[in-house]
Amino acid sequence: EPEVTQTPSHQVTQMGQEVILRCVPISNHLYFYWYRQILGQKVEFLVSFYNNEISEKSEIFDDQFSVERPDGSNFTLKIRSTKLEDSAMYFCASRDILGNQPQHFGDGTRLSIL
């Protein structure tokens, strides 16, 4: 079964540094999402992306965040200047354009800010 893949599985970064989290969505999917889960808390929506532009973003997704689909397969989340509170699990998800299909999640990237 096709999968959403995320790299790296664990990223450790110094506060203030830029970090890029990478995702390869399922190949025929056209809707892409990033979610965040702070340890012990619920999963929160960050941003959705379709047709090479952001379709919706949450209050969490401020100016330090950006998303990009640099080529036909990758979907990236960039955090420009990381803060301690950015430490979390980041999940990428993708969805088929046909009907109301469920989102398929990657295994997540654990981001640790020191």
Partner 1 sequence: AQTVTQSQPEMSVQEAETVTLSCTYDTSENNYYLFWYKQPPSRQMILVIRQEAYKQQNATENRFSVNFQKAAKSFSLKISDSQLGDTAMYFCAFMTEGGFQKLVFGTGTRLLVSP
The contact set with partner 1 (CB under 8 A) reads 31, 33, 35, 37, 41-45, 48, 50, 55-56, 89, 91, 93, 95, 100, 102-105, 107-108, 110
The H or E element that residue 66 is part of is strand 65-68
CB 85 to partner 1: min, Å: 19
Burial code (b: 16+ CB inside 10 Å, e: under 16) for 4-26 equals bebeeeebebeeeeebebbbbbb
| Minimum CB distance to partner 1 smaller for 79 or for 90 | 90
CB 33 to partner 1: min, Å: 7
